Chain A
Amino acid sequence: MDRYAKRRNIIVFLILLVGFVYLIRLFSLQVIEKAYKRTARQNVLREVIDYPSRGLIYDRNGALLVSNQASYDLMVIPREAEAFDTLLLCSLLQIDPADFTNSMKKAAAYSRYKPSIVVKQIASERYALLQEKMYKFSGFYFQTRTLRSYTYPIAAHVLGYVGEVNNRIIEKDPYYRAGDYYGVTGLEYAYEKELRGKKGVSFYLVDVHNRIKGSYERGRLDTSAVKGNNLTVTIDRNLQAYGEELMQNKAGSIVAIEPSTGEILALVSFPTYNPGELVGRSRMENFPRLLSDTLLPLFNRAVKAQYPPGSTFKMVHALIGLQEGIITPSTSFHCAMGYHVGNFSMGCHHNQDFRLSGSIAQSCNAYYAHVFRNILDAPKFGGTRNGYEQWRKHVLSMGFSGRVSPELDEELNGLIPSVDYFQERVFHSSRWRSLPIVSLAIGQGEIQTTPIQMANYAALLANRGHYFPPHLVRKIENSTVDPSFREKRTTTIDPVHFEEIIEGMEWTLSWEHSGTASGSSIPGIVCCGKTGTAQNPHGQDHSTFIGFAPKDKPQIAIAVYIEKGKWGSTFAAPIATLLIEYYLNGTIQDSRKNLEKRMMETNLLYPDRPNFIRITE
């Protein structure tokens, strides 16, 4: 044996060492590490999305409100787009060549192999024209998308609009990918999960150049698009359209509710816009204009505007007074052209005694100053502060506690100040007095309510003490509506106390009782209501009215706010009663045609520019 034979062992050891190290490495790569498996999937799978059409929206009587229209995105795969006539394509598309060149550069920068959108949302007519010429442009193709289409130019705020998802949405919900559409506002937003349907996806295997090589797992994982569920909304499209017609050239809102169900029959916010203005390519031009409009056409006043309720709030005090035994229907207070205590005076227009019903019909401020102070200062509560606490508890039970609709996210709360609020802002001590906050008696001061809360208040009066949460959706295809819509909410007021109040509301529209809205009475319909004048620190007071009809078995409850409309009787009451009449009778009787004409022609925005907002059908 030669003397170097032992070196065999060193060499064999070296070989075994390499083998061992490689084995460990393979084990860690293939068994332990998971990242490579993920990357491998991303490498080879291409998802082709099949977009579903959004659910349709029908009104309560089955009229189609919202449907879909096809639109086309022009896509390009830069690698395949060889020399082509840019100017011809731009003229066919009717776009600026500079913009087009820009998008092409962006597409090439993103990927030469993967498709990018060059021009979004091309209308079907233009698409038809382009189709014939597309053979000249290799590397370009169309991707079909659906856009919203509106049968009537109404209810923009109710329906909301659909837009492209932003990064925030994508982060929140992994369902969305860049370029997807989603409901931004209104019902489109609230019922997004129902309306959107389910995207279909086909997985294809692609090679390193992104060329499709075949289906993945023989299409086992592929899904087809499922169209969105149709919605039937509670809106009556005739009533809604009529309401919007009456609101021409005015700012304000109308909310009408079916008291027996809480279904919202009409929800008008004015100024508004044509929902078609925010569809597809036209949104780019219209949205900034609407956004910068000082009259806030994008702002849904019906659920977001907070106004003082004014005199329409007086029944709240009456009901609490009755419930707490502070007053009886026959309790009377004197009005001496107002309410006077020491140096304090709150004006009114009467010099007579009022009993409950009459105080509502003629909207006596003094009466309610007495009622309100008597509640707060009632000995049984042991102090004004506690009295306020009790009063507030009753008020909150009437739906003023916060959002009344479970489905409209954008709704604002309104404000019935808490004890702490007054403690900090008004009294600064534990010694409360009712006089400094007596303006609450006539629905002024710190109280803020939204039109939808006021409509709900009208509905609970109509129902004599209970309400159903106001809502906008009646039926969802393949699903059920929120069961809370059918949950009866009762107030803390006993139903027996409502009859006197409702009598007073009936007198409001009666000539014999000198009701404040007697000029708006509807021959043939027993209508109950209450006018209000909401003080507006920024100018002319707001005209407001709540009411319902018929008195027995009410079918509609309504709240109307007309900004800068002055008295409740001047605009709010006529408009409310016209809507009630239209809803109950389907037409306006001749004797009230003049009133209707006057309402429609009045311009409270720019008296010198009567056709500021023109809605074309």
Chain B
Amino acid sequence: MIRSNKIALSVDWGIILIYLFLVAVGWVNIFSVGYSEEQKTFFDFSQRYGKQLVWIVMGLLVGAAVLYTDSKFFVSFAYLIYAFFILMLVLVLLVGNEVNGAKSWLTLGGVGFQPSEFAKLGTALALSRLVSSYNFSIKNNVTRLKILALILLPVALILLQHDTGSALVYLVFLIPLFREGLSGLILFFCVLFVVLFILSLKISPLVLLVVLIALASLVYYFLKKNGTNIAKGMLLLLVNAVWITGLVWLIKGHFPGFYYVLFRASLLSGLIVLGFAYYKKRMRQVLVSGVFVLSILFSFSVDFAFERVLEPHHQDRINHLLGIESDPLGAGYNVNQSKIAIGSGGFVGKGFLKGTQTKFDFVPEQSTDFIFCTIGEEWGFVGSAVVLFLFIFLIVRMILISEKQRSVFSRFYGYCVASIFFFHFAINIGMTIGLAPVIGIPLPFLSYGGSSLWFFTLLLFVLLRLDANRMEQLH
């Protein structure tokens, strides 16, 4: 009894209240989607809202169980838990069920669940354990390899299930790693390449190339505040362009095109500058010209990669997000209907059970991935803003809690949880309002489904348990 009192006192009730509220909001909206005038019972277990009620009750039990588990359990068994879920992922590949083109479901005693969700928990715990280990340094190459291996193992297994969406979530481990000292350059490169990727698909390669040359020149100028370098660079570019043109003309007998010449000339010029700077040990110039060369190579290969690596439905989704293809009944149909549903909600919404777009199946997956549409339609801007605010509050609060942790394990784990929530939140709501690509990942606590609810509950309550441990020691 003493122990339970301690837990009750030390646990963060604010987060638990938000958790309960969001779960309730989720259920209300799942109810609204499934509700029909013929069936007026709340507890119809053939309906999703009936089932979700069971998941919620079981989720609460899971949460309570976590709170009553010794926090040392999660630290000690971190690698074991990770290994267990990796095993599950392998198992899925062997005996899993295919749903919507992704082989990610495991059926145990008639109940299906997705190990890919839980694998994130395992990875978070394992990474926390690694980061909190004695003598940990992120600058150490062996450590870096270990981190990469811990992340890439589940990613590879999930990619084998054709569940790209879930695999992408693993990108967020960069955030806690960044907090623990991962070079900002890596994040910078990630952002740079995402921007380059989008621009390569969206604008013509020649324009992008000119923009990159201009940017590189500008940065170069600011390095030395000296115009002569730019003039030299331009001259170099011109000379290269001329002789490449001449050479091609000699061999092929015709002008090969501006882009062809400019791409080769700037690549060559960049490499020459890079070599020269390296020789003179001017490291900042090496960096700039290196980034420049990588950038133009990257943007050149994006088209190729886009065609070869991504599956057609991902191409469609990315294209749609970038506004390259606007086909309301084609690939963009889901997002369009989703925007219509949310937009039709207005300021205060149509009211509980009054939504028409979500209720009558215009929006696909309206109780799982697109649950936010129902909120937008029935509760309007007010309801959407409240949910938005609660998520932001929850995530920021998790980060603040993490920062208070004295153990690196708890802090890193807290950041992992916050980052995973943030990614799901940003992608899920972003896709319903047309700001993020359509990646089928659930909205924490709100989307229908036992696996995701339990996973997020576990994720959150393990953090609460670790945090309570800190509080317990204070009492």
Q: How far is the CA of A295 from the CA of B10 in the complex (A)?
A: 103
Interface 9-mer from B16-24, B43-51, B254-262, B339-347: B339-347
Is there an interface contact between A30 and B384, defined as CB atoms closer than 8 Å? Answer: yes
Is there an interface contact between A7 and B342, defined as CB atoms closer than 8 Å? Answer: no
Assuming the contacts A8-B403, A21-B435, asked whether A30 and B340 have C-beta atoms less than 8 A apart, the reply is: no
Is there an interface contact between B381 and A27, defined as CB atoms closer than 8 Å? Answer: yes
Question: Which of B181, B340, B341 has its CB near the most chain A CB atoms (within 10 A)?
Answer: B340
Is there an interface contact between B37 and A22, defined as CB atoms closer than 8 Å? Answer: no
Residues of B within 8 A of A70 (CB): none
Minimal beta-carbon separation of B89 from chain A (angstroms): 28
Q: How far is the CA of A44 from the CA of B354 in the complex (A)?
A: 12
Is there an interface contact between B339 and A15, defined as CB atoms closer than 8 Å? Answer: no
Question: Which of B37, B179, B403 has its CB near the most chain A CB atoms (within 10 A)?
Answer: B179
Question: Closest chain A residue to B349 by CB distance?
Answer: A30
Contact of A11 among B179, B181, B389 (CB under 8 A): B179
Residues of B within 8 A of A4 (CB): 179-181
Question: Closest chain A residue to B357 by CB distance?
Answer: A40
Assuming the contacts A8-B399, A11-B399, asked whether A26 and B342 have C-beta atoms less than 8 A apart, the reply is: yes
Residues of B within 8 A of A43 (CB): 337, 340, 356-357, 360, 362
Assuming the contacts A26-B433, A33-B343, asked whether A207 and B360 have C-beta atoms less than 8 A apart, the reply is: yes
Question: Closest chain B residue to A211 by CB distance?
Answer: B360
Over the window 1-32 of chain A, the binary record of Cβ atoms lying under 8 Å from chain B Cβ atoms (1 yes, 0 no) is 01111011001100110110111011101110
Interface 9-mer from B192-200, B275-283, B317-325, B422-430: B422-430
Is there an interface contact between B343 and A37, defined as CB atoms closer than 8 Å? Answer: yes
Is B77's beta carbon under 8 Å from chain A? no
Residues of B within 8 A of A7 (CB): 178-179
Is A327's beta carbon under 8 Å from chain B? no
Is A208's beta carbon under 8 Å from chain B? yes
Is A206's beta carbon under 8 Å from chain B? yes
Assuming the contacts A29-B433, A30-B380, A40-B341, asked whether A11 and B178 have C-beta atoms less than 8 A apart, the reply is: yes
Is there an interface contact between B433 and A206, defined as CB atoms closer than 8 Å? Answer: no
Q: How far is the CA of A4 from the CA of B37 in the complex (A)?
A: 57
Over the window 355-370 of chain B, the binary record of Cβ atoms lying under 8 Å from chain A Cβ atoms (1 yes, 0 no) is 0110111100000000
Describe A's contact surface by its main secondary structure. helix
Chain A interface size range: 35 or more
Over the window 202-213 of chain A, the binary record of Cβ atoms lying under 8 Å from chain B Cβ atoms (1 yes, 0 no) is 000111110001
Assuming the contacts A4-B181, A21-B435, A22-B435, asked whether A31 and B346 have C-beta atoms less than 8 A apart, the reply is: yes
Q: How far is the CA of A40 from the CA of B347 in the complex (A)?
A: 15
Is A39's beta carbon under 8 Å from chain B? yes
Is there an interface contact between B360 and A44, defined as CB atoms closer than 8 Å? Answer: yes
Minimal beta-carbon separation of A208 from chain B (angstroms): 4
Residues of A within 8 A of B347 (CB): 30-31
Minimal beta-carbon separation of A340 from chain B (angstroms): 85
Contact of B356 among A2, A31, A35, A40 (CB under 8 A): A40
Is B96's beta carbon under 8 Å from chain A? no
Question: Closest chain A residue to B408 by CB distance?
Answer: A2
CB neighbors of A among B166-185 (8 A): 175, 178-181
Q: How far is the CA of A39 from the CA of B342 in the complex (A)?
A: 12
Is there an interface contact between A36 and B343, defined as CB atoms closer than 8 Å? Answer: yes
Is B395's beta carbon under 8 Å from chain A? yes
Is there an interface contact between A15 and B395, defined as CB atoms closer than 8 Å? Answer: yes
Is A214's beta carbon under 8 Å from chain B? yes
CB neighbors of A among B124-161 (8 A): none
Is there an interface contact between A19 and B357, defined as CB atoms closer than 8 Å? Answer: no
Over the window 383-413 of chain B, the binary record of Cβ atoms lying under 8 Å from chain A Cβ atoms (1 yes, 0 no) is 0110011011001100100010000000000
Residues of A within 8 A of B122 (CB): none
Minimal beta-carbon separation of A6 from chain B (angstroms): 10
Is there an interface contact between B361 and A207, defined as CB atoms closer than 8 Å? Answer: yes
Residues of B within 8 A of A26 (CB): 342, 376, 381, 384-385, 388, 433
Residues of B within 8 A of A213 (CB): 36, 359-360
Q: How far is the CA of A41 from the CA of B346 in the complex (A)?
A: 13
Over the window 190-226 of chain A, the binary record of Cβ atoms lying under 8 Å from chain B Cβ atoms (1 yes, 0 no) is 0000000000000001111100011000000000000
Assuming the contacts A7-B179, A8-B179, asked whether A36 and B339 have C-beta atoms less than 8 A apart, the reply is: yes
Minimal beta-carbon separation of B190 from chain A (angstroms): 13
Is there an interface contact between B388 and A22, defined as CB atoms closer than 8 Å? Answer: yes
Contact of B360 among A12, A29, A206 (CB under 8 A): A206
Question: Closest chain B residue to A43 by CB distance?
Answer: B362
Assuming the contacts A4-B181, A36-B340, A43-B340, asked whether A23 and B388 have C-beta atoms less than 8 A apart, the reply is: yes
Q: How far is the CA of A7 from the CA of B182 in the complex (A)?
A: 11
Residues of A within 8 A of B36 (CB): 213
9 A-B pairs within 8 Å (CB atoms) are namely A8-B179, A12-B399, A15-B392, A16-B396, A30-B376, A43-B340, A44-B362, A208-B362, A213-B36
Extra 17 A-B pairs, beta carbons < 8 Å, given A18-B430, A23-B385, A29-B342: A5-B403, A15-B395, A15-B396, A15-B399, A16-B392, A16-B396, A26-B376, A27-B381, A29-B376, A31-B381, A37-B344, A40-B356, A43-B357, A44-B356, A44-B362, A213-B36, A214-B37
Residues of B whose CB lies within 8 Å of any CB of A are 36-37, 175, 178-181, 337, 339-347, 356-357, 359-362, 376, 380-381, 384-385, 388-389, 391-392, 395-396, 399, 403, 415, 422, 426, 429-430, 433-435
Ordered nearest first, which 4 A-B pairs have the shortest CB separation? A36-B343, A40-B344, A207-B360, A19-B392
